[in-house]
Amino acid sequence: MPRQALGKGLDALLKQTQDVLNNPPAARPEGTPHSSVQKIALDKIIPNRFQPRRVFDEAKLQELAQSIAEHGLTQPIVVVYDAGLDKYEIVVGERRFRASQLAGLTEIDALVHKALTDKQMCALALIENIQREDLNPIETALGYRNLMNKFGISQTDLAGYCGKSKGAVSNSLRLLDLPEHMQAALQDGTITEGHGRALLMLPDLAKKEVLFQRMKKSKMSVRQAEDAARALLQPAAAPKAPKPPEVASFENDLQAALGTKVEVRYGKKMSKGLLIIQYNSLEELDNLAGRLKTKLL
């Protein structure tokens, strides 16, 4: 499916939005279609229904609020007017909106689009966050899935549109296959996206849980998590069959006579094998050699 599946209208809208945001209101030509910048009361603004971000870092919001209080808002937010609610819905810029509230402002500069479809709002909100790399891994994956479902596009097309590799988009979406509590750990930063991919290496849910608990307790690196996943993928070694009583008895008798560990190893047939006599120092080896020579001569 060609990239035009996203619609020429959306391409034009995204370009127009970026052009307007990059120019102060006074520098824009008069009669700019479909949009205008104005001051809007904060109590007339509502969040974007399609906001991909689920977690807002309070400390960073406070920092942004302080900056806005001292220097003002450097870039307007983008909103669309909802006549039914008589409210302005945020398209992009919810962090700036929230920080402005914390800063004690009563109004905010906003670029007002007169008409945006749900698809356009969803695309603008997601792409703005992805370009800023400001989402946690699960928020990004949910945003990808939402955009794909609404536009009916493939992972390849979405990857090209968002400036990501197809593998990056695919790996991101696969994180949504993890159990909810593991997704929650990705959202709050307990584990990273790399740890999530290590968990996905394990098809068995029980093994996933074993590795997940080890990640949390030992704070292992991504490389250690991948190595641990590969180890869990290895089949369990079959238990060794007990040695026949006569072999065990021979080992015990020889160990008692020599005063060191003795092991008899053999294959399917006992007619051939190895007799292993263990020593722990050169002095012990000399002693064993002398005792064996005495017995043999």
**Euclidean distance between CA atoms 182 and 29, whole angstroms:** 50
Residue whose token pair is 């991948």: 226
> CB-based contacts of 13: which residues, under 8 Å, 6+ apart?
113, 116, 120, 124
3-class secondary-structure state, position 258: helix
- Compute the distance between CA of residue 69 and CA of residue 249 in angstroms, rounded to an integer: 86
Residue 101, amino acid: Q
Q: State residue 121 phi and psi, 5-degree precision.
A: -65, -45
Determine which one of 30, 70, 89, 94 is catalytic.
Answer: 94
d(CA 225, CA 219): 9
Instruction: Write the burial class of residue 284 (CB in 10 Å: 0-12 exposed, 13-18 middle, 19+ buried).
Output: middle
Q: How far apart are CA 184 and CA 94, in angstroms?
A: 22
Query: What is the number of other CB atoms lying within 10 angstroms of the CB of residue 176?
Result: 13
Q: Is 283 a catalytic residue?
A: no
Q: Of 135, 115, 134, 255, whose CA–CA distance to 187 is shortest?
A: 135
| Residues annotated catalytic, as ranges | 94
